Structure 1
Amino acid sequence: MAITNQERIAKALDLLKEGLAPFAEREIRNALEKGRQVPAIRALAEDPLFKEKAISKWDASLLLKLMWDSWNDVFRDVLGPAERGLVGEIRGYRNRWAHQEPFTGDDTDRALDSIARLLTAVSAQQGGRRQSNEDRAPAADLRRAGAQGEAQGRWHDDRKPGDRKPQAVARGCEPTPRCGERPLPASGVRS
């Protein structure tokens, strides 16, 4: 049976958790040891659902939230603006996955690529030590899954046959004119 795009995203998020947790935990620990105040970690530590859990046990959603909310206090020193963009983008994909929104093949490709890029950036920042195969494993797994999907012929679309509307229409906008523009009057001249 073919694996769905939702399942691919779920596996990628599991690999993201596996690769991101040790990095996030180490960087947070380093920041706290340097005496930095990290309000995001304090807020999460006060949450009854998470205060008893080690960062390494958090799911991908919490790890991404932690990275986003504590970027300037912790992660800006070791990752660049491109990686911050990846964190934000992956949070969006994770939320779409959690709310069971459909993923096209292109969406899936993009999500897997973004997750692999973030994992590669994180594993490259291993405190100056040489990268081991274990450090690179999550990103390599994602790239391998992407290659297998391509070899089998593009990911299939998770949308149902009746859902084949363009994204703009699904959001309540007609594809032309663009969202936010006034429709053309009958004469074809803009008002």
Structure 2
Amino acid sequence: MTAKSRLTKGVEFLYVLVKSSLFFWGTLIKMAGIYGWVSAQEKTMYAVDHPEAVHEGLSRITENLGKAKLWEKTLSVGIFLSFAGVIGTLVWGVGSSLSVLFLVASGILLLFLLLLTTNFLVTPKAGLDFATYSYLVLSQTLRPSLWNGFVVANFVFWALLLPISPLLFFLVAPGGVFYLLKKGHQKLLELKGQTHDSY
């Protein structure tokens, strides 16, 4: 592989990450930052998994995936409230044991809901009714596993980029999160002898 082709691939990869990240933020803004967390993650994951989709634009991806369902909006509200709890506690200061407890509880809840959302997005429904499917995903989320550890570590890793470089976080973190999730999920399926299906 020539240096030029490596450079071209690197630029194309960065373009996909940035455009996917912009899709994420665009979806959040479009849904007032409250109802769009699950939908934003779904669209970002789709864009990362289908690099050609970044040229179509957010509206085309929305058409392909459909509108957010009620359960997605409900889960999004939970993510928003737990995220607001973390940010609010940090802004107003951690001056008492109660505020520390609230910060830790909000952070754990936020990670749990993000993990739950990720498992919803990567677990095939396989013709199951929603109640059975939800139980399956919830049990996978609560069960300690290498995959769950990888997902949480991935979110934490990218969150640590925020205080270092907010601009870089804004431009590449959402795309980077779901690129690593895609690669990690592919590797997990390979270890199980299965093939990767697009999200």
TM over 0.5: no
Max radius of gyration: which structure? 1
Higher helix share: 2
Per the normalisation by structure 2, the TM-score is: 0.30
